[in-house]
């Protein structure tokens, strides 16, 4: 068993069944996962093996059918709906394959959304969002709308949004699959650079073998279960290991 | 997040426009049609409203409304005068008679005969001449609009009695004469009257002269106008007159209301306007509701993302409600504004248009219902939304 002090995510025997009886789909069949603070874990495996389902459960947006799960010291499923929503807002960062930036808002407003959801004043939220946009190198794109940005730039805005409220746990589902190879590298390298910290755990679901080297640990899944966990020396090592 | 909700709505120009269009259309149609309806209805009692002096309108018990009067015996007047609390009571003749213009054409005209002594019940406003001129021989007063239109004649006629080419319309003027049931009438004045539901020209004269125009009948007293003596409540007096004379006494307000209700019950006018208003309402719901729902569906993935990122159901509901309210308020403003503009445009024309304060209130309520119905489906959708959808393509 991992040291819970240093383990952000501690999941055992997670199962998930969608539907009932004949229509039942066993998306997860007893998946185990540990994610230590300060690590970037990549979740890889064939399509339909349950990667998205697993991170949805870890992030507290989906209920598991069975198993035990502790994320940042709590079991999200034991929180009541309102408390769970608030917990997500305070602790989880999300990066989506399709970015999901609100088209009517400027880049900086999109980045400010998590803070506004937490009830911060607009001025404070915008100031923090501007600082975060600077960190992803888009200081000059603050007033642009998503449609005026390239895919890579949009995903950088989305990364800024995922980090602006300093979440302890960040989940990304296929963050590079909507991008070309070069942009995928740029975005992932930026992400590894600014997102990985000693007090934060990160899980990235990906198919993209070209970004595997950014991972501290690669977790393979197949048919609803984890089949292999491989620790690796990340390319972005110096900063990482100084923390953890 | 309020600002973000508004930006989301306004940011989708096409849908925003569609939603506004639906609400504006509904507010416009409801307001405009109701105003025309109210305008038309107020015309039905315009004659009563024009005659402000009497407190009571007394008729035969069979009479239902002002445009169909059953004449009474002349002794009825004395009976009314004998009721305690009646300050004064005067006779009035009102009936449609046949008039013949000097060019030979016939016109139905409404002849109103006023008490010879007091001339009570005269037109609200004289344009030319004076009411007292009715005392001159064969004197009548015409309403000025009819004098220029229905009672006007052409400047020149050919042998067949058709107007010659290039002939102009000549309004009937003071000094002109016409025949009413083959008796001579001389125009001594022109007056203004409110437009009534009956479109015939209105001709005022004295009571006795009106009787001389009218075909001889046993009963000829159309109406008795009466006033309550100071300190007497008109409603009580009306009840007393009705009880003691077995005539039908109504206050002015009651008489107006009787008349409106007669038209409401006996014509399809309410159903007609009701259908138009309902149509506005339904089309508003169809367009605004449909577009608003589509707008929500389009934004569902963003609502899902907001949910995942810590947006509570309550917050999302507030956003949807704010979006619907904003569209509702703006659409309502545009619709009622457009209806008011329309009303100002048609002011003074043939079209009836009367916007009382009730009408914007009613269309406001209708818009509120439209917005509520439109957004409720969207709200249910947003509440049911599972945040887990954010990771699904
Ligand atoms: N809401 C749902 N209802 C029914 N079945 C579902 C639902 N969500 C996922 N599944 C099923 O669960 C299984 C695992 O899905 P999941 O999306 O977790 O896989 P994945 O590893 O993320 O695949 P991919 O690489 O294609 O994204 C699949 O068979 C999928 O069809
Ligand atoms: Mg997936």
Tell if the CB–CB gap between B392 and A52 is shorter than 8 Å. yes
CA distance B387 to chain A (A): 6
Has residue A62 been placed in a domain?
yes
The rounded Å distance from CA A61 to ligand 1 centre is 14
Tell if the CB–CB gap between A88 and B7 is shorter than 8 Å. no
CA distance B312 to chain A (A): 6
Mean pLDDT value of segment B153-167: 82
Local confidence band at B251 (pLDDT 50, 70, 90 cut-offs)? very high
Number of Cβ within 10 Å of residue B7's Cβ equals 16
Has residue A242 been placed in a domain?
no
Select from A96, A103, A114 the Cβ nearest to the Cβ of B391: A96
Mutation to probe ligand 1, out of A45, A51, A55 (largest number of atoms < 8 A from CB): A51
Query: How far apart, in whole angstroms, are the C-alpha atoms of residue A94 and residue A171?
Result: 5
Higher pLDDT, A124 or B66: A124
Has residue A124 been placed in a domain?
no
The predicted pLDDT at position B393 comes to 65
Would an 8 Å CB–CB cutoff place B43 in contact with chain A? Answer: no
**In total, how many domains does chain A have?**
1
Has residue A200 been placed in a domain?
yes
The predicted pLDDT at position B157 comes to 81
Q: Is the pLDDT of residue B241 over 90?
A: yes
Rounded to the nearest 5 degrees, what angle is found at the Cα of A200, between the Cα atoms of A98 and A153? 30
Chain B residues near residue A122 by CB distance under 8 angstroms: 3
Which tens digit of pLDDT belongs to each residue from A155-171? 999 999 999 999 999 99
Tell if the CB–CB gap between B312 and A62 is shorter than 8 Å. no
CATH number at residue A154: 3.40.50.300
Domain span at residue A187 reads 7-101+149-231
Tell if the CB–CB gap between B305 and A118 is shorter than 8 Å. no
Would an 8 Å CB–CB cutoff place B12 in contact with chain A? Answer: yes
Local confidence band at A239 (pLDDT 50, 70, 90 cut-offs)? very low
Chain A residues near residue B13 by CB distance under 8 angstroms: none
Q: Which residues line ligand 1 (CB under 6 A)?
A: A 18-19, 25, 27, 47-53
- Could you give the 3-state DSSP secondary structure of residue B157? strand
E-assigned strands of B101-168?
A: 106-114, 125-128, 139-143, 153-154
Domain ranges of chain B: 2-44+268-391, 73-246
Pick the atom of ligand 1 nearest to B388's CA: 1
Nearest to A226 by CA among A103, A45, A97, A64: A45
Name the average pLDDT for chain B: 91
C-beta of residue A36 within 8 angstroms of C-beta of residue A244: yes
Has residue A144 been placed in a domain?
no
Give every strand in the sheet of A66-71, ordered side by side.
Answer: A25-36, A7-18, A66-71
Which tens digit of pLDDT belongs to each residue from B215-240? 988 899 999 999 999 999 999 999 99
The predicted pLDDT at position B137 comes to 92
Nearest Cα residue to atom 4 of ligand 1: A18
CB pairs under 8 A between A and B: 83
Q: Is the pLDDT of residue A242 over 70?
A: no
DSSP codes of every residue in A60-72: TSS--SEEEEEET
Which tens digit of pLDDT belongs to each residue from B1-16? 889 999 999 999 999 9
C-beta of residue B23 within 8 angstroms of C-beta of residue B327: yes
The predicted pLDDT at position A5 comes to 59
Angstrom distances, CA of residue B91 to CA of A10, A97, A121, B50, B354: 101, 90, 77, 17, 32
CA distance A121 to chain B (A): 10
Query: How far apart, in whole angstroms, are the C-alpha atoms of residue A8 and residue A93?
Result: 14
Count H helices, E strands: chain A? 7, 9
Mean pLDDT value of segment B11-29: 93
Considering the entire predicted model, what is its pTM?
0.80
Mean pLDDT value of segment A167-196: 93
Tokens of A74: 């709590």
- Could you give the 3-state DSSP secondary structure of residue A2? coil
Chain A residues near residue B304 by CB distance under 8 angstroms: 100
Local confidence band at A235 (pLDDT 50, 70, 90 cut-offs)? low
C-beta of residue B75 within 8 angstroms of C-beta of residue B220: no
Helices of type H across chain B: 2-11, 13-44, 46-50, 75-81, 144-148, 207-213, 234-245, 252-266, 269-284, 290-298, 300-308, 313-345, 358-384
Mutation to probe ligand 1, out of A17, A25, A57 (largest number of atoms < 8 A from CB): A25
Q: Is the pLDDT of residue A237 over 50?
A: no
Higher pLDDT, B94 or A233: B94
Q: Is the pLDDT of residue A243 over 80?
A: no
Tokens of B362: 């009613």
Query: How far apart, in whole angstroms, are the C-alpha atoms of residue B144 and residue B278?
Result: 38
The rounded Å distance from CA A165 to ligand 1 centre is 29
Which tens digit of pLDDT belongs to each residue from B105-148? 899 999 999 999 999 999 999 999 999 999 999 999 999 999 99
Q: Is the pLDDT of residue A87 over 80?
A: yes
Mean pLDDT value of segment A218-233: 93
Would an 8 Å CB–CB cutoff place B14 in contact with chain A? Answer: no
Pick the atom of ligand 1 nearest to A51's CA: 21
- Could you give the 3-state DSSP secondary structure of residue B159? coil
Mutation to probe ligand 1, out of B390, B392, B393 (largest number of atoms < 8 A from CB): B392
Tell if the CB–CB gap between B301 and A59 is shorter than 8 Å. no
Which tens digit of pLDDT belongs to each residue from A89-121? 999 999 998 899 999 999 999 999 999 999 999
Has residue A222 been placed in a domain?
yes
Has residue A208 been placed in a domain?
yes
The rounded Å distance from CA B239 to ligand 1 centre is 82
Has residue A43 been placed in a domain?
yes
C-beta of residue A179 within 8 angstroms of C-beta of residue A151: yes
Which tens digit of pLDDT belongs to each residue from B382-391? 999 999 988 8
Select from B7, B310, B392 the Cβ nearest to the Cβ of A117: B310
Query: How far apart, in whole angstroms, are the C-alpha atoms of residue A83 and residue A85?
Result: 5
Higher pLDDT, A244 or B143: B143
State which residue of chain B sits closest to A89, comparing Cα positions: B310
The predicted pLDDT at position A236 comes to 52
Which tens digit of pLDDT belongs to each residue from A10-33? 999 999 999 998 899 999 999 999
What values do phi and psi take at A95, rounded to 5? -125, 130
Which tens digit of pLDDT belongs to each residue from B32-62? 999 999 998 888 898 998 888 899 999 999 9
Buried b (16+ CB within 10 A) or exposed e, A149-171: bebbbbbbbbbbbbbbbebbbbb
Which tens digit of pLDDT belongs to each residue from B69-88? 999 999 999 999 999 999 99
Would an 8 Å CB–CB cutoff place B11 in contact with chain A? Answer: yes
* pLDDT > 70 in chain B, percent: 100
């Amino acid at each position: 068993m991992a040291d819970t002090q240093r383990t952000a995510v501690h999941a055992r025997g997670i199962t998930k069944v969608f539907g009932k009886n004949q229509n039942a789909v066993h998306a997860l069949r007893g998946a185990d996962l540990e994610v230590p603070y300060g690590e970037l874990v990549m979740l890889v495996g064939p399509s339909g093996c349950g990667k998205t389902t697993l991170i949805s459960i870890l992030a507290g947006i989906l209920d598991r059918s069975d198993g035990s799960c502790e994320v940042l010291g709590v079991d999200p499923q034991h929180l009541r709906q309102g408390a769970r929503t608030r917990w997500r807002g305070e602790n989880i960062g999300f990066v989506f394959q399709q970015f999901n930036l609100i088209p009517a808002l400027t880049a900086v407003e999109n980045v400010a959304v998590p803070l506004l959801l937490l009830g911060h004043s607009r001025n404070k939220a915008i100031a923090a969002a501007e600082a975060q946009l600077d960190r992803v190198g888009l200081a000059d794109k603050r007033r642009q709308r998503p449609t005026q940005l390239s895919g890579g730039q949009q995903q950088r805005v989305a990364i800024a949004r995922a980090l602006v409220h300093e979440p302890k746990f960040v989940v990304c589902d296929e963050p590079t699959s909507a991008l070309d190879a070069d942009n995928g590298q740029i975005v992932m390298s930026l992400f590894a650079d600014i997102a990985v910290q000693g007090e934060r755990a990160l899980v990235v679901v990906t198919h993209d073998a070209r970004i595997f080297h950014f991972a501290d640990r690669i977790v393979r899944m197949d048919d609803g279960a984890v089949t292999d966990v491989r620790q690796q020396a990340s390319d972005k090592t110096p900063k990482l290991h100084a923390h953890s | 997040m309020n600002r973000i909700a508004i930006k989301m709505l306004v940011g989708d120009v096409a849908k925003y426009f569609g939603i506004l269009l639906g609400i504006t259309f509904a507010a416009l149609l409801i307001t405009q049609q109701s105003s025309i309806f109210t305008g038309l209805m107020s015309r039905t009692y315009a004659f009563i409203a024009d005659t402000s002096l009497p407190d009571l309108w007394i008729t035969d018990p069979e009479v239902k409304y002002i445009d169909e009067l059953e004449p009474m015996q002349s002794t009825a007047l004395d009976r009314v005068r004998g009721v305690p609390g009646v300050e004064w009571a005067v006779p009035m003749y009102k009936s449609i008679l046949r008039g013949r213009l000097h060019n030979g054409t016939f016109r139905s005209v409404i002849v109103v005969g006023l008490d010879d002594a007091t001339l009570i019940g005269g037109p609200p406003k004289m344009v030319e001449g004076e009411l007292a001129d009715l005392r001159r021989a064969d004197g009548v007063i015409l309403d000025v609009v009819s004098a220029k239109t229905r009672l006007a004649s052409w400047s020149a006629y050919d042998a067949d009695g058709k107007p010659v080419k290039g002939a102009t319309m000549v309004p009937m003027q003071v000094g002109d004469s016409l025949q009413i049931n083959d008796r001579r009438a001389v125009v001594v004045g022109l007056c203004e009257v409110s437009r009534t539901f009956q479109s015939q020209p209105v001709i005022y004269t004295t009571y006795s002269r009106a009787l001389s125009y009218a075909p001889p009948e046993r009963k000829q007293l159309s109406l008795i106008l009466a006033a309550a003596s100071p300190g007497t409540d008109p409603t009580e007096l009306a009840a007393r007159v009705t009880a003691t004379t077995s005539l039908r006494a109504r206050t002015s307000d009651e008489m107006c209301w009787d008349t409106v209700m007669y038209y409401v019950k006996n014509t399809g006018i309410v159903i007609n306007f009701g259908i138009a208003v309902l149509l506005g309402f339904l089309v508003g719901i169809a367009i605004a509701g449909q577009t608003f729902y589509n707008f929500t569906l389009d934004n569902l993935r963003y609502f899902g993302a907001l949910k995942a990122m810590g947006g509570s159901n309550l917050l999302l509901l507030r956003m949807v409600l704010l979006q619907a309210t904003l569209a509702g308020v703006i659409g309502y403003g545009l619709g009622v504004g457009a209806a008011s503009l329309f009303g100002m445009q048609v002011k003074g024309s043939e079209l009836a248009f009367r916007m009382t304060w009730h009408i914007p209130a009613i269309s406001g309520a209708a818009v509120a219902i439209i917005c509520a119905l439109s957004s409720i489906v969207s709200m249910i959708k947003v509440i049911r939304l599972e945040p887990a959808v954010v990771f699904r393509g």
